[in-house]
Chains A and B, each alone.
Chain A
Amino acid sequence: MQLTEDQIYALAPDEASKKAGRDLATPAKWVTKGINDQALWGECQGSGSKPYQTQVDLSAIAFKCSCPSRKFPCKHGLGLLLLCARQPGLFTNANIPAWVSDWISKRSEKEEKKVEKAEKPIDEAAQAKRQQSREQKVSAGINELLIWVKDIVRNGILTVPEKGAGYWDNMARRMVDAQASGMAAMVKNLGATNFWNEGWQDNFMDKLLQLYLVAESYQRLPGINPLLQQDIRSAIGFTVNQDELRQQSGLTDTWLVIGKDSRDEQQITVEQNWLYGLKSNQYALVLQFIARGQVAQLSISTGMYLDAELSYFPSVVPYRAIIKNHVAAKSGSAHDIKSFNGWQQVAIQETSLNSRLPFRNEMPFIIAALKPVQYQKQWWLQDQEGCLCRIASDFKNIWQLMALSGGEPLTMTVIGKENEYKPLGVWHQNNYKTI
């Protein structure tokens, strides 16, 4: 599979790796190099006497290198991919060396073993006991949380900006103790409202009401439809067994990675990958949690096409998913996309989603013929009907978007809610580009 330079850079763990990888993307650095359908490999002369053996599994984009770097992928892997993207002619379709073929075959064996791995017998009674105990803790925590929320609205939110960090942290900690990590995150997010912003009250109340909806709904779980129950439990912080999820049949499609974002949360990198299924016209969010020093299981970057089977987490609005298996696919074109035709259609879709799940998060949409315009000193995205939605104020690359647009409408991927969205990527000259 041929990755573009942007896609390769998107795989880098940090800026330093990008820079170092770029420096290694010159033929002089590589003693040997080769490629076949399965793998790309090369030997890079480092500071040691023996060159580093670098290899990339092209079918599922995985890396291995004999260098001592703890970064993943290392600069050698990135450099090799970049060199191949820039000067593919340098890579001969040579005989695969033993050190590459061994690794590739081990990878396939591992995959098979994973499938065959027998499950340990589960002590169901103990599990049920643990579950019951947790639910009791959560209920107690939720009760306290509701009292806290009522206190806020009783006293009025006018004085909320004066509250110190401890006010929010204490309740977040209480939620952690109650084993309701999702609620803890929501409380922290509530405290993180930018009280300096004009109109902070809207943003604050949105978050407070979402929190209230989840907490209140949890107290009424039995009467709610099972899928919505799962949404509520997920929002509270109950996890779904991913092994069980893998057992279920998923949605097989050619998926385009429409966006990627990473953020650090307490020593863990949370990677969000947004995917779009070309045939199913479905969107998906694949999360990856990478502890420091650990290797990410999934190496995908924006603009990549994957032939993959995805299993969605149970939800009234199936969105979060896991990738059961994937191989890189050939690039598609903008014609394969069934995009929304304007903001009216997005509004109808939003209504449908909100009516099913009122406390849902932002979701991506691919919308045809949007053009960035300036109105009242703000940037907006205008559709063919003249409808406008605001571009989020934290969107930094407005000039890049403008440069690609040239004033002409573009098919664009955006993420957001109601009337504020952030562009993720555009189709420019039939290529998908991240912004």
Chain B
Amino acid sequence: MKAWEYVINTAMLGTDKPMPGNQNLPDSITEIAVKIDAIDSIDKEAKFLQKASVIYNYRQCGFTPFQKQDLPVTIASEEIKPYCSLLAASVLNDILNEDNTALLELWMSRCCEKGQLFLPDALPAVLDKAEKDTSLRSMAIACSGNRGEWLSKLNPVWGYFRTFPDEEIWQTGKPEERAALLKKMRQDDPGRAREWLQQTWEQETAASKVELLKTLRINAGTGDLEWLESLLNEKGQKVKDEAIALLKLIPGSSIVNQYEGLLKQSVNLKKEKALLGMMNKVSIWQKLPAVVDESIFKSGIEKLAGQKASITDESFILYQLIGSVPPSFWEKQFECTPGQVVEYFDKYANDKVTALGLAVSRFKQKEWISYFLEQPGFYPDFIEMMATVEQEKYLTRFLKADAQNMIHYALRLKHEWGLDFALLAFREMANHPYEYNRAFFSKHIKLIPVSTLSHLEKIEPKDANLQNAWEKGKHHLIKLLGLKQQTLKAFNA
């Protein structure tokens, strides 16, 4: 608008400078401007301010909206799935206000299970959360419906709605996306994942080779052997080290075979007659051959136990070797059942029982676990391989002696804790309220069962000085459990 430009330009330079005339003003303004200029009693500043005021109101009164008909506008498709109930929406609101990712995950998983959507009001908040926390994304996409998908196309920050074919991610994705894809493929089809990696292997950098090779730890098996063996000739030391680490996980690999060969010569079960042939005397004979192939020490077996170690170097080497071969090796070596193997080690080579236990974990030989359950040693990796019921039983056995560690391992469980285990854990937690604080409960609320709500009030720390700190955490936990209860109720109604 030219008249307003006249005001701004004059004001910028000041009325002390020569001012433009009225000729460029609209006719209706010019008429008034001429009258103002004709007043002799006022100074030039007042004249400008009066004319500017007229133009200001002329502009205000003459405002016309800008028109644009052909703007490309898209509309969100109608939803096929139903929206969640108002009660569920209100709980979601509370969870978002509480800023609790674990509860949000639970809420969305329930919403997904019911095939429902959250209300459009919550879309920006939930999509923002999922943008920051990748674990929420798939559920956020499922629960936000067509409107969420439509909205994501308008805001580049929510671009995670756009999914690419696996091939495209593998060829053009970011390093972490490629590694994540390979991990996923290793779960479902390990062979195919390996083939993909083999195809692009030559183009990968040394760093990405190491990272991608690490994904092969998932479901590492005999199918991988041939290729992994060939990687022992790689130039990069880190790549070679990772290949060796992988080969050490696969029974039948050259390294494992080498270890087995050495153990065949070094560890034997000796059965002798004693007491004039009336009794059998059994022992485990352990002795390394005089000359040991030096290459085993290049594959990760340490030669020296260390100056302060209570065992000899030879015993230390044997310990490492026993931990690096599949436990099933001993069935053949000792010609006995797994139960007997554990028993013999327990009786005659007790310092090697834990090595045998580690081998069970390393080679994931689940069937051997039961023979170790009564052993005094705790094997954290067993938990993952156990049945749900057994996991808590196993942790409970060690809970009193080593509560903090057992709780740490219990946090890795994939299922919600049972009431009994949770209450036992709470009794221990109450004595360490600074460790098991509000942030801890916020993070792990998914594991804590709602049924503990009615028992929580009775749980107190042994030391009265810790009462206040524990109370704070406890009240927070009660609040979170309340939200969890409401979530479950909202979707069960």
Q: Which residues of A contact B (CB under 8 A)?
A: 5, 18-19, 22-23, 26, 28, 86, 149-150, 153-158, 201-202, 205-206, 208-209, 212-213, 216, 343-344, 346-347, 350-351, 354-355, 358, 371, 373-375, 382-383, 385-389, 397, 399-400, 402-404, 406-408, 417-419, 428, 433
Contact = CB atoms under 8 A, between A and B. Distances in A.
Nearest to B17: A156
A205 B52 contact: yes
B66 A157 contact: no
10 contacts: A19-B97, A28-B482, A209-B56, A212-B53, A347-B64, A350-B60, A354-B60, A373-B71, A382-B71, A388-B66
Contacts of B15: 153-154
A26 B53 CA distance: 59
A206 B43 CA distance: 21
Contacts of B63: 347, 350-351, 418-419
Contacts of B203: none
Nearest to B94: A22
B453 to A, nearest CB: 9
Contacts of A402: 151, 154
| A contact patch SS | helix
Contacts of A150: 43, 45-46, 49
B68 A375 contact: yes
Contacts of B76: 406-408
Nearest to B87: A86
A399 B13 contact: no
Interface in B34-52: 43, 45-46, 48-50, 52
Interface residues of B, number: 52
Contact of B11 (A153, A399, A418, A433): A153
Contacts of A201: 8, 11-12
A208 B49 CA distance: 9
Nearest to B14: A156
B477 interface: no
B75 A406 contact: yes
Nearest to B127: A399
Most buried by A among B120, B123, B155: B120
B17 A209 contact: no
Interface of B: 4, 7-8, 11-17, 43, 45-46, 48-50, 52-53, 56-57, 59-69, 71, 73-76, 87, 90, 93-94, 97, 120-121, 123-124, 147, 150-151, 154-155, 479, 482
A20 to B, nearest CB: 11
Contact of A155 (B14, B49, B66, B121): B14
B489 to A, nearest CB: 11
Contacts of A212: 49, 52-53
Nearest to B479: A23
B90 to A, nearest CB: 6
A346 B74 CA distance: 26
Given A158-B12, A399-B151, A358 B68 contact: no
Given A212-B49, A403-B147, A404-B121, A154 B97 contact: no
B94 A153 contact: no
Contacts of B147: 403, 406
A153 B452 CA distance: 73
Contacts of B120: 403-404, 406, 428
Nearest to A155: B14
A174 B57 CA distance: 28
Given A22-B94, A403-B123, 11 more contacts: A5-B90, A18-B97, A28-B482, A157-B11, A344-B64, A382-B71, A386-B69, A399-B151, A406-B75, A406-B147, A418-B60
- Closest 3 A-B residue pairs measured CB to CB? A156-B14, A343-B65, A407-B75
Nearest to A376: B68
B154 A374 contact: yes
Nearest to B83: A429
A419 B60 CA distance: 10
Nearest to B62: A351
Contacts of A371: 73
A354 B57 contact: yes
Contacts of B45: 150, 153-154
Q: Could you say which of A5, A355, A402 has the most chain B C-beta atoms within 10 Å of its C-beta?
A: A402
A288 B75 CA distance: 41
A350 B69 contact: no
A426 to B, nearest CB: 11
Contacts of B8: 201-202, 205
Contacts of B73: 371, 373, 382, 407
Contacts of A403: 120-121, 123-124, 147, 151
A354 B49 CA distance: 18
A433 B53 contact: no
A419 B56 contact: no
Contacts of A209: 49, 52-53, 56
A344 B123 contact: no
Given A213-B53, A388-B67, A406-B75, A154 B16 contact: yes
A347 B65 contact: yes
Nearest to A85: B90
B123 A399 contact: yes
B61 A350 contact: yes
Contacts of B65: 343-344, 346-347, 383, 387-389, 419
